[in-house]
Amino acid sequence: MSNKILVAIDGSEGGKRALGAAVEYAKLTHSSLILSYIIDWSPYSFHTPEELDERQKRRESEIQRAHDSILNPEIEALGDQNLSIETVVRHGKIAEALKNIADEYKATQIYIGKLGESRVRSMIFGSVTAALVQTSLLPVTVVP
């Protein structure tokens, strides 16, 4: 059975380093990669009726934008390294959504950057990386 590595990309430097490390490992072990970008979203937020009306349209454009401006440039930057790469964009809470994707795509491990967010934010809301490490059932590699 081949390895599948799920890499969390968020457009930050930390995410880029995580991808770099994952690529090296994948080449060594002939694993395939799943690049994922999570759009932070909560089902419990409040909106005006007009916003709800436009939600579907917005969702599609958000997904499109994530592909165009974050995932695709990363893949292009990698160049042709003879790797099998899939991409996934999802809405949701980051740690939870990554876990769901890992389940769905039957990933065997997860790579994530250490510095994805500001210090203040992680002090108040807790770090996404820490949450993932705590709850994941798969090996998680945190790339500094």
Binding residues (CB under 8 A) for other proteins: these are 39, 41, 43-57, 59-60, 62-63, 90-92, 96-97, 100
Residue number with CB closer to other proteins (56 or 118): 56
In this complex, which beta carbon is closest to other proteins, that of residue 30 or of residue 58? 58
Nearest to 39 by CA among 1, 17, 69: 69
CB of 89 to other proteins, least distance (A): 9
Minimum distance from residue 43 beta carbon to other proteins (Å): 4
CB of 37 to other proteins, least distance (A): 12
* Closer residue to other proteins in complex, CB, 45/82: 45
- Judged on CB neighbours under 10 Å (0-12, 13-18, 19+), 63 is middle
Query: Rounded to the nearest whole angstrom, what is the least distance from the CB of residue 92 to other proteins in the complex?
Result: 5
Question: How many angstroms separate the CA atoms of 5 and 90, rounded?
Answer: 17
The string of DSSP codes covering 54-110 is HHHHHHHHHHHHHIIIIIHHHHHHH------EEEEEEEE-HHHHHHHHHHHTT-SEE
Closer Cβ to other proteins, 48 or 118, answer by number: 48
Q: Which is nearer to other proteins, 24 or 60 (CB)?
A: 60
Both tokens of 46, joined, read 């409040």
- What CA–CA distances, in Å, run from 117 to 17, 59, 114, 122? 14, 23, 9, 7
Closest approach of other proteins to the CB of residue 10, in Å: 16
